[in-house]
Amino acid sequence: MQKPNPLYSWALQAPPPLRWSVGLLLIVGGVFGFLPVLGFWMIPLGVLLLAVGSPKVRETAKAAIRRARAWAARLTSSRG
Protein backbone atom coordinates (compact mmCIF):
# COMPACT_ATOMS: atom_id res chain seq x y z
CA MET A 1 0.00 0.00 0.00
CA GLN A 2 1.17 3.48 -0.80
CA LYS A 3 2.24 5.71 2.09
CA PRO A 4 -0.29 8.52 2.64
CA ASN A 5 0.63 12.13 2.08
CA PRO A 6 1.74 13.79 5.34
CA LEU A 7 -0.77 16.58 4.76
CA TYR A 8 -3.69 14.26 5.43
CA SER A 9 -2.11 11.25 7.14
CA TRP A 10 -3.24 12.66 10.49
CA ALA A 11 -6.84 12.27 9.32
CA LEU A 12 -6.31 8.57 8.69
CA GLN A 13 -4.75 8.05 12.11
CA ALA A 14 -7.15 10.24 14.12
CA PRO A 15 -9.82 8.48 16.15
CA PRO A 16 -13.23 8.43 14.44
CA PRO A 17 -15.00 10.68 17.00
CA LEU A 18 -12.40 13.39 16.36
CA ARG A 19 -12.72 13.05 12.59
CA TRP A 20 -16.53 13.24 12.81
CA SER A 21 -16.44 16.25 15.11
CA VAL A 22 -13.97 18.21 13.00
CA GLY A 23 -15.76 17.21 9.79
CA LEU A 24 -19.15 18.34 11.05
CA LEU A 25 -17.71 21.59 12.39
CA LEU A 26 -16.13 22.31 9.01
CA ILE A 27 -19.40 21.65 7.19
CA VAL A 28 -21.38 23.86 9.57
CA GLY A 29 -18.73 26.58 9.30
CA GLY A 30 -18.81 26.32 5.52
CA VAL A 31 -22.53 27.03 5.50
CA PHE A 32 -21.62 30.44 6.90
CA GLY A 33 -19.01 30.97 4.18
CA PHE A 34 -20.28 34.44 3.40
CA LEU A 35 -18.81 35.63 6.71
CA PRO A 36 -15.24 37.05 6.65
CA VAL A 37 -13.24 34.31 8.42
CA LEU A 38 -15.20 31.26 7.28
CA GLY A 39 -15.29 30.06 3.71
CA PHE A 40 -17.18 27.73 1.42
CA TRP A 41 -13.97 25.67 1.05
CA MET A 42 -14.78 24.20 4.46
CA ILE A 43 -17.72 22.14 3.15
CA PRO A 44 -15.78 19.77 0.85
CA LEU A 45 -13.01 19.44 3.41
CA GLY A 46 -15.55 18.44 6.06
CA VAL A 47 -17.13 15.91 3.72
CA LEU A 48 -13.72 14.42 2.98
CA LEU A 49 -12.99 14.06 6.68
CA LEU A 50 -16.29 12.27 7.20
CA ALA A 51 -15.64 10.05 4.19
CA VAL A 52 -12.18 8.90 5.33
CA GLY A 53 -13.71 6.45 7.80
CA SER A 54 -16.21 4.93 5.38
CA PRO A 55 -15.08 1.70 3.67
CA LYS A 56 -17.72 2.14 0.96
CA VAL A 57 -16.35 5.58 0.08
CA ARG A 58 -12.81 4.22 -0.03
CA GLU A 59 -13.86 1.44 -2.43
CA THR A 60 -15.65 3.94 -4.65
CA ALA A 61 -12.66 6.28 -4.65
CA LYS A 62 -10.28 3.46 -5.55
CA ALA A 63 -12.56 2.38 -8.41
CA ALA A 64 -12.76 5.97 -9.68
CA ILE A 65 -8.98 6.27 -9.57
CA ARG A 66 -8.58 3.01 -11.52
CA ARG A 67 -11.05 4.21 -14.16
CA ALA A 68 -9.28 7.57 -14.45
CA ARG A 69 -5.90 5.89 -14.87
CA ALA A 70 -7.26 3.51 -17.48
CA TRP A 71 -8.86 6.41 -19.33
CA ALA A 72 -5.61 8.40 -19.20
CA ALA A 73 -3.64 5.39 -20.45
CA ARG A 74 -6.04 4.94 -23.39
CA LEU A 75 -5.85 8.64 -24.15
CA THR A 76 -2.04 8.72 -24.20
CA SER A 77 -1.72 5.48 -26.19
CA SER A 78 -4.10 6.73 -28.87
CA ARG A 79 -2.00 9.88 -29.33
CA GLY A 80 1.27 8.02 -29.76
What average pLDDT does this structure show over 4-20? 76
Boundaries of every domain in the chain:
11-79
Q: Is the pLDDT of residue 2 over 70?
A: no
Q: What is the 3 state secondary structure string of 15-60?
A: CHHHHHHHHHHHHHHHHCCCCCCCCCCHHHHHHHHHHHCCHHHHHH
pTM assigned to the model? 0.60
pLDDT in tens, 54-77: 788 778 778 888 898 898 888 888
pLDDT in tens, 33-50: 888 878 888 888 888 888
* DSSP conformational letter for 54: -
Residue 25's pLDDT band, with cuts at 50, 70 and 90, is: very high
